[in-house]
Structure 1
Amino acid sequence: MAPFVSTIVGGTVGLLTGMYAIALRGRTVLKPQASYLVFTAGGAYIGFEYYRFKQYEKQLIERRRVVLLERRAIRQAEAAAAAGTV
């Protein structure tokens, strides 16, 4: 569901950006424009790529978490061994 939402939001933002750009030129905004398709497709692509990036970021965070937990377990084992021999 999330890639669908990201794509729709990105497409909507792209469409609104295109409408704003047309309005800045002083042209009629609600008249169908071919550029709206380009802006919408570009926005949808950016939205989908954002979703993919967030998934990649979650994977990196999870991998880092596993490494940190392993290091902590090693440190705790070393501390317990040092405390037991003192």
Structure 2
Amino acid sequence: MNEFDPCGLIALESPVDEYDYLTNKVLGLRHRKESREKIRETILFELTDHFGEHIESLEEPYKTKFFQALDKFLDDSQNVD
């Protein structure tokens, strides 16, 4: 999750545990073998609910770059067992 850095917190030198909450949510979903779409929806929800980030309000090209990074994160995380 830190490599994905969806809110840019790690880039701003925030503590490395900043995304632990979200990481644990994603790991729980993966453990329960939830779908990629469910994991994606959860990440987007938590970014708004927990972190206050409203991804849908991003302007281009940032919005496209965010969703590309999210897709890469999901691809990479599905390949880890």
TM-score by length of 1: 0.28
Q: Which has the higher contact order (CA 8 A, sep 6+)?
A: 1
TM-score by length of 2: 0.29
User: Which structure has the highest helix share of the two?
Assistant: 1
